[in-house]
Amino acid sequence: MGLSVTLSNALSGMRVGQNALDTLSNNVANAGTPGYHRRSTSVIDSLGVNSTYAREGQLTRAFNSSLQAHYTRTTAESGFTSVQASFLDRVQTLFGKPGTTGSIDSAYNAFESSLAAVATSPDSYANRADFVQKAQALAGTLNRLSQDVQSIRKEIEARLSNSVDSINNQLQSLERVNQRLADQGIDQTSRATLMDQRDRLVESLSGQMDLRVSYRGDGTVSLMTRSGVGILDVKASVFKYESAGALSAASRFSPDDAVSGVGKLTIMTPAGLEIDLVKQNVLQSGEMAGLVQLRDVQLVQAQDQLDEIAASLAQSMSTNVTRGTQVSAGPANGYEVDLADVRNGNEFTFKYLQGGAERTVRVLRVDDGSKLPLDYVDANGARVIGLDFSGGTGAVAAQLQNRLGSALTVTNPSGTTIRVMNDGAAGTTDMLSLSTRTTSSGLQNGTLGFSLFVDTNNADFTNSLDGVGQKLGFASRISVNSAIVADNKLLVQFTGTTPIGDQDRLNQVIANLDDMRFAGGQGSGATNASARLGGTVADMISQTLNWQGNVAEAAISNDQTQQMTLDALTQRLDGEYGVDVDEEMARLMELQNAFAANARVMSVVQELMNALMQL
């Protein structure tokens, strides 16, 4: 091997060493940079004519595709649990814990205590005034909580809109990164930097939605949701959010755009196909999926629970229970009751024994034909049947008989009276009771029930199912009857001549609060939280607080578990991709020694060449 070959080999070694030093210095400089992937340069021994020499190999960027896919999926799940835990914890705080100031149960307990005091001394103006104030405070608590729930839904709408803008910007950036990576002419260092940026964008997007990422050989990526909707290939899809404007308790999601009351979230693919992400259930994880579920499910459940409490509270004050009269016809026995006072939304109820088991049937008056047929089992185990009363009591009896079959006999003996009898000699059923639950239509009409809590414009709350139903959003509208606020003697005087010291009305509503049982609206207990509520007003308040507490606790626990998983993956990524400065320093020593050796070779060659020149 000649001196020129030796010199060339030393120069190639120094050049490779210099490039390796550049890579090493870049690693050290970015040791704390988020999303930076460690890089390394390989050295290749190449065979020359008379010797071997060093040649720089490919710049390698640390990357593990299977680990990256796991991290992407976990990031989406973490985004979902994080936003759920954050908002549900806020809802739990709004509702309050039992006994805490500002909670529903504290307001209700104060109301109950004041009611007991005024019932003891109804002739005391101070007691009556305090009771009215406590009733206003309870209604105000329900108003405030309802407004707070809707404010959170509005906040979620704004956050969804901001997320859409952010996602579109990131997708455009990722599209540009893809275009540059597809250019085979860029140098290796620039390509590695672009791939770092690519992964940062993918990570950010995966926090918003569940993604399936495909990494191509040239470093570009394609994205689709895990449900199979394309997000990015050559071109990026465009997300769009159409706000519904102001939200109220009645603003609910519906697959029918004409009646849906919430914002619309869609995606437009490069091919011009528009997909509704909520209708098609495209988003299954990620922050956006968590926000949509909060807006359309959990916060709707919270509002429904407040409405159930408000409804049961109003009905416990205004309901008059009329017990049926026992009748018999031969071997058959039963009861009859007058339905004249049953208003839209009111009911009559009967209980009977069949096969040794007690059964309860609630028959609702439903004037809105679109709500029929109506037949379900409520949270208290009672069968609820909705009937059209427009055809008179005879038609009601015929409809009910058709629903019940032959176990009982339902007739209309006269006028507005309905009669329910057992099966007589067959002996398979026994009637236990029959009664109506009707809403009082005035404050001094001689009935003990009275509309202390009313709807908008001082309207009686009858729990009508017409339209969206009177119960929907009632917690935001409930108020104390303005006539009672103006003259609190109406708390006592159920007729114009009732003595101011009479306790009958107040004792009756106390009995209603203690004994009257209510049940949440129609729906599956698995999906409709309010359908699980059942019992007295106090029971429903307690169940609501427990529900919200348990939901928040579960969400926080899930988030903590998910964050631990994400932290563990992050540590694995740091170990896989991160820069270990100690290792880099050790590598630096190796490169310095190699550089010094090559420099020594060049020095010796120089000396030999000088010696040759002097000969």
For 97-109, give the DSSP string.
Answer: -TTSTT-HHHHHH
Cα–Cα distance for residue pair 17/131, rounded to 1 Å: 88
Cα–Cα distance for residue pair 33/577, rounded to 1 Å: 11
What 8-state DSSP symbol labels residue 490? G
Q: Is the pLDDT of residue 585 over 90?
A: no
Quote the tokens at residue 121.
């001394």
pLDDT value at residue 321: 96
Average pLDDT of the chain, as a whole number: 88
What 8-state DSSP symbol labels residue 250? T
pLDDT value at residue 526: 42
How do residues 474-524 score in pLDDT, each as one tens digit? Answer: 999 999 999 999 999 999 999 999 999 999 999 999 999 999 999 887 754
* Phi, then psi, of 459 in degrees rounded to 5: -75, 145
Confidence of residue 525 (pLDDT cuts 50, 70, 90): very low
Q: Is 281 left (phi over 0), alpha (psi -120 to 50) or beta?
A: left
CB 120 within 8 A of CB 131: no
pLDDT > 70 in the chain, percent: 86
Q: Is the pLDDT of residue 91 over 60?
A: yes
Q: Is the pLDDT of residue 54 over 60?
A: no
Q: Which residues of 185-214 are buried (b: 16+ CB within 10 A; e: fewer)?
A: eeebeebbbbbbbbbbbbbbbbbbbbbbbe
**Amino acid at position 195, single letter:** M
pLDDT value at residue 524: 44
129: nearest Cα among 497, 484, 568: 484
Q: Is the pLDDT of residue 472 over 90?
A: yes
Report the SS3 class of residue 592: helix
Q: Is the pLDDT of residue 141 over 50?
A: yes
Name the pTM for this structure. 0.88
Q: Is 478 left (phi over 0), alpha (psi -120 to 50) or beta?
A: beta
Cα–Cα distance for residue pair 96/99, rounded to 1 Å: 8
Q: Is the pLDDT of residue 411 over 80?
A: yes
Q: What is the mean pLDDT of residues 549-574?
A: 93
Quote the tokens at residue 440.
């009082």
Report the SS3 class of residue 118: helix
pLDDT > 90 in the chain, percent: 69
Q: Which has the higher per-residue pLDDT, 208 or 599? A: 208
How do residues 22-34 score in pLDDT, each as one tens digit? Answer: 666 776 777 777 8
Q: Is the pLDDT of residue 603 over 70?
A: no
Q: What is the mean pLDDT of residues 373-396?
A: 95
Cα–Cα distance for residue pair 501/128, rounded to 1 Å: 11
CB 281 within 8 A of CB 449: no
Lowest mean pLDDT among 5-19, 151-165, 297-311: 5-19
* Phi, then psi, of 350 in degrees rounded to 5: -140, 155
270: nearest Cα among 240, 234, 241: 234
Cα–Cα distance for residue pair 533/104, rounded to 1 Å: 15
Confidence of residue 577 (pLDDT cuts 50, 70, 90): confident
Q: Which residues of 429-467 are buried (b: 16+ CB within 10 A; e: fewer)?
A: bebebbbbbbbbbebeeebbbbbbbbbeeeebbbbbbee
Q: Is 442 left (phi over 0), alpha (psi -120 to 50) or beta?
A: beta
Q: Is the pLDDT of residue 615 over 80?
A: no
pLDDT value at residue 5: 58
How do residues 337-353 score in pLDDT, each as one tens digit? Answer: 999 999 999 999 999 99
